[in-house]
Amino acid sequence: MITPEEAAKKPLPAPDGDTQTFWKGMREGRLLLQHCRRCGHVQYYQQQLCRHCGGGDLVHEAACGRGTVYSFSVVYRAPGPAFKDDVPYAVLLVELAEGPRMISTYTGGPVEDVTFDMAVELVFEEVSAEIALPRFRRV
């Protein structure tokens, strides 16, 4: 059971063994993608194995931060009390320049500005001492 106090706070990521490198990168202003040294596949989010070839030789490299809006949806009804001041907001499916697609949210302007194929760039939003979240704004 979630208390009203808990419901009023936004949930935060809890870095674990698989994701702590990713979240450390976010704190340092870098979106880390995994590159497979065997097949060249680039993936987001972090896993132990390449999702293309199953290889385990993955290295982290920072994304350039550029991408395009592959799809999006505008949220008008807050999913909980913690988000009531945010609506309306746009949830983006961004295709990164490196290939992977990631879900994030739009920042830096009204949701009416968001269009398909719009060029966007990554920004980092500090939400706690440990966590910075990736968001995207129009280029």
CB of 38 to Zn ion, least distance (A): 5
Of the pair 24, 41, the CB lying nearest Zn ion is at: 41
Which residue in 63, 65, 39, 76 sits closest to 121, CA to CA? 65
Task: List Cα–Cα distances, 24 to 19, 32, 68, in angstroms.
Answer: 9, 9, 25
Q: What residues from 77 to 136 belong to the interface with Zn ion (CB under 5 A)?
A: none
Residue 39 as a binder of Zn ion (CB under 5 A): the answer is yes
* Cβ distance to Zn ion smaller for residue 53 or 74: 53
Per CB under 5 A, the list member of 7, 8, 28, 38 interacting with Zn ion is 38
> Count of CB atoms within 10 A of residue 138's CB?
15
Name the minimum Å distance from CB 95 to Zn ion: 19
Residues paired with residue 135 on neighbouring β-strands, in sequence order: 123
Site for Zn ion in 40-79 (CB under 5 A): 41, 50, 52-53, 55
- Ramachandran category for residue 130: left, alpha or beta (phi over 0 → left; psi -120 to 50 → alpha): alpha
Q: Give the footprint of Zn ion on this chain (CB under 5 A).
A: 36, 38-39, 41, 50, 52-53, 55
